[in-house]
Amino acid sequence: MAFISSILYIIILLNTIAAIITVFREPREIAATWGWLIVLVMLPVIGFIIYFFFGRRIRKKRIFNLRAQETVGLQELVEQQQRDLAYTKEKIGPAKFRFKNPYQEELASFFLEADDAIITENNDVEIFVDGQEKFDRLKEDIKNAKHHIHLLYYIFNQDEIGEEIMQLLIDKAQEGVEVLVIYDALGSRMTRNSFWNKLHEAGGQSVAFFGYTLGFINWRINYRNHRKIVVIDGEIGYVGGFNVGDEYLGKGPLGAWRDTHIRIAGDAVYSLQSRFLVDWNAAVKEEKRREFIPEYFPLTETKGENTMQIVSTGPDSDVQKIKFGLVKMILMAKKSVWIQTPYFIPDESIQEALSIAAMSGVDVRVMIPCKPDHPVVYRATEYYSSQLLKTGVKIYVYQKGFLHAKTMVVDGEMATVGTSNFDMRSFRLNFEVNAFVYNEQFAKKVEEEFLHDLKNCTIANEKYFEKQDRWKKFKQKFARFFAPIL
């Protein structure tokens, strides 16, 4: 018996030493470090298997390959705009861009410097909150494509809407239109290779982002391309929360689906095009890479009124650009900050920003779903919601189906719509993209949709959380420990 006890002590000691070495050999945020240390120590052997798939950082060589794909076609414009902003700040001449107030210009300047996110004007932006309306508009645009169709989706399912979109892509490929599709290998894991082969036979191309190495094993489960981008003829672009799948039409197990997506016609499409091409070049072999051609970036005559930037973030960058931008927007708010997100697991900087704003008299509202699609994530969402409630943040629980929208509107003057959730995964681990729009009319539309959704919400006040049973509260607190690695 003593012999067995000694063996167990040795195993525990060796496991603890191995856990410490494993976690601390790679630089990461302290919260994530402690989270992984708990997993490795509490789950001997199994914890290391989980870490192998979910915890390892992207290799430096892989990061270099991702960073090496420079912003296709836009670098000179970025440098020119950086000079223009400096020119404006020095009061040498009139403002180069249409900003309503100085803090919009500050935010745009940050994104231009941190992400090479060009500032574009004259954009016409259409907002969708219903899946059927979004897909009907998308199908119409695909049918009218003349030169190219570029799609990037985290999820592209082989179901009714997936088959319908695929048939349209096949038809256009057969007409000679360039069709390129990027899908995330994990997000689209249920879609069979035969589905993509039909597109290849028609002359189109597709590629899995961070695909499966041995056909069934994916070594990079933790780093996913969560972006949703469509570019058609370099003139029309889509970005937002909808993937391609029947569930986004309310036909899945979660029932009615509430999301937000935008369609852009104007110069901001250049940024979406550049982002797509960078991701394409990073995912395919060298002979299939795309270079700059004028047809990808055609001159447009759109006369919309939206000034905007397309901002990307991912684990290939040391700067959490979208998160930093969100923090800056929150801290600049004078009247209101309204947020919709399906996963609300804010890190300390977001928590502090929201708390400071709320305690300063800003109307801070956060809307979350009433049901989970990821149980552990949802319990963590409930935990952080209950904590921020104490600082004056108002929490609303959407009851009419599943809320998947990822939006924030500040002071009714500027708004962001995109793929990034308010959680640590989107900020640090996923490849994400958001549109930041500096236009009061667009911001008011986002506010109107928020107010409309409030009619289908329950207010999550102190009594709401007090009524929850002890088991649920325990699960919330337990999920919090794993928040940095969810």
Q: Give residue-wise pLDDT tens across range 139-194.
A: 999 999 999 999 999 999 999 999 999 999 999 999 999 999 999 998 998 999 99
Q: Three-state SS across 43-61?
A: CCCHHHHHHHHHCCCCCHH
Mean pLDDT calculated for residue range 284-310: 88
Number of domains in the chain: 3
CATH of the domain at 207: 3.30.870.10
Tokens of 301: 């005559």
Helix runs in 301-371, H state only: 321-332, 348-359
- Give per-residue pLDDT as tens, 316-374: 777 899 999 999 999 999 999 999 999 999 999 999 999 999 999 999 999 999 987 88
Same domain, 233 and 197: yes
Could you list the active site residues? 226, 228, 233, 404, 406, 411
Same domain for 269 and 123, yes or no, is yes
Q: Is residue 303 part of a domain?
A: yes
In a domain, 316, yes or no: no
Is 147 found in the same domain as 249?
yes
d(C-alpha 146, C-alpha 188), whole Å: 27
Task: State which of 310, 344, 359 marks the end of a domain.
Answer: 310
- In terms of domains, do 41 and 168 share one? no
Does 113 fall in a domain? no
| Within a domain: 315 | no
Residue 291 within a domain: yes
Q: Which of 335, 322, 485, 484 is nearest to 406 (CA)?
A: 322
Whole-Å CA distances, 402 to 40, 189, 256, 321, 339: 34, 22, 6, 27, 15
Tokens representing residue 158 in the block: 């082989």
DSSP element (H, E) containing 306: strand 306-313
Q: State pLDDT tens for residues 382-431.
A: 999 999 999 999 999 999 999 999 999 999 999 999 999 999 889 988 99
| Residues 329 and 462 grouped into a single domain | yes
Same domain, 222 and 328: no
Question: Residue 17 is inside which H or E element, if any?
Answer: helix 2-24
Burial 183-196 (b: 16+ CB within 10 A, else e): bbbbbbeebeeebb
- Is the residue at 90 inside a domain? yes
Counts for the chain of helices (H) and strands (E), in that order: 17, 19
Q: For residues 395 and 427, state if they share a domain.
A: yes
Which token pair is 245?
A: 């799948």
Range of the domain at 261: 63-108+118-310
